[in-house]
Structure 1
């Protein structure tokens, strides 16, 4: 194998690299080279942190480190193993992770032998670990090195250096988990996960902004999305204007536009966002909701029926409007309130299962599910956009 300075694998096209790199299910790593130290051979993120502390710190706070949280663990305990394995292709894709989970759940097909030394006993609980993207057959892969960083074939690097590929800075790298195939699960003729295609149809793709541009700025391993208020502010822009009408009434109009996300807002069907056009004023500072709208793709909890799809495509807008109340106030604070429930679908699903007397769960599974529901509800947050003052009929 030729490393990053050569013309071997590192020079192959992105599509060819990704087809090989994300061939599912991922094969086991196999035995590490004899000269590897235990740390070099380890698949544990904690071992990676010895040299990549910043990346590990970012990953530890990201959703990628929590892809095997309670919300999927309770399902792994009740669903058929074949179905769980398909989920693990993204949630814990390493073959070694799947083997550990199979052993912990007592699946008949679980390996009988204990895991090799380079596999930590809790690897299956750590989610999308570093090795899932960066290690194949104990060879390390990554993006071309940045300024001042050593090339992959620099002598003396740990684990024999690394193979560089431009694929790590390409949106297609993320498609393995964030884009269903054309024959994948769909409702109303629309794939349940269609993020790459949404991006391809947007101006963001034409202008050269990749997934990594927004979700991995400066190569940070945080992958922030709708769970983060800052990312929502980056995605949405809001403008509010007022117009005088007859009899001294004032009409307020707001436009909330998806200017920052290179895909639908939200791209997946789990979140639910409520937009409210709010006026605060009057002698007591009363709060008045002039108009509101839901932005989401709403389905039943078992994904068998789609009720509505009001998501915002890139550069699309949701408009709200209403009249200020006739309460004699001449000073108002106008804004758009954004109520974000990042896991609203899971909230409904988890609560539905817990409350369904026909669903039989053992005590431990029920405890895990109840904790998953609480965690899902705790992800909700509220923010304001487009705030402005209105004094004596004049917007400031």
Structure 2
């Protein structure tokens, strides 16, 4: 993607137009209303309970489960699961988080051209439903489930998951009935959808940057709202050739590489902890203000909050810890700075993407990263073949 497009200022209110110069879809994508299909009310899906404490000096993860064996608050799943994506199996459950093993990927590392051997699949239902007046579920065709969260002001946040629990669509419905589409997977019913072991970006060449690396990865020691804002509103660094599902973005490092990232060096997690110190919450103000500006310009923006650990400890334990770190930052942004939780997606990557290549304890590796992924997960403007 040319440096001219990459470095062009994004005028206020023109974020989608800027993204549309990079999102070059082969055919138009029409997004159906998330409430178009009649659903059948059902009880809430069975889950475990989990509580993560942030903004103090400790983190708790108190879980209750109905599985067979629990050791050190980690549940080994022994029953056969029928709701799993093709090519995946649950090896452990930590709180309400499933640790998936990619069948055929081995017990460590990654397969060539494929996804990591282990992947954690969390659940953001409770985070989105904080302070809700009502939450209910409906069964849709094809094994899909629709969750509706109703807020005191009448706003509804509606999310659809497929038969495997992958999120495929989310919208915010305003009290006047207007629908704001946050993300949508147009290929959700495609029989050609690859299994979890396959990286949907495996055929893409490595990213070629036409901008300085410090504009691609923002890594500063002091909060800087203007820098955060410029980074967030900038378009992807290469062509977005199709819409990806949120879960494809979560699983594929190569897809995430299409957009810029902010490393939050102002949040320093203690070893083995997902707690945000009280003093560090204030350091999120600049980032929160930048995100709020973007959402005010375009309420349909989606951000990915990524959690990471150092390499000390087991791969599975680090996945769970990193996911809690991502969730802690997302929760803090909503609780203290009123960032709508539905605009934030979280994902933990454990020790998979070390910032500092060391197997020793390292504070720089215990971090959280933020990216704006809107142009990856929904059509940003009417699209036609170009």
Q: Same fold judged by TM-score > 0.5?
A: no
Larger radius of gyration: 1
More relative contact order, 1 or 2 (CA 8 Å, 6+ apart): 2
**Higher helix fraction (1 or 2):** 1
When the two structures are superposed, what TM-score results if normalisation uses the length of structure 2? 0.26
When the two structures are superposed, what TM-score results if normalisation uses the length of structure 1? 0.25
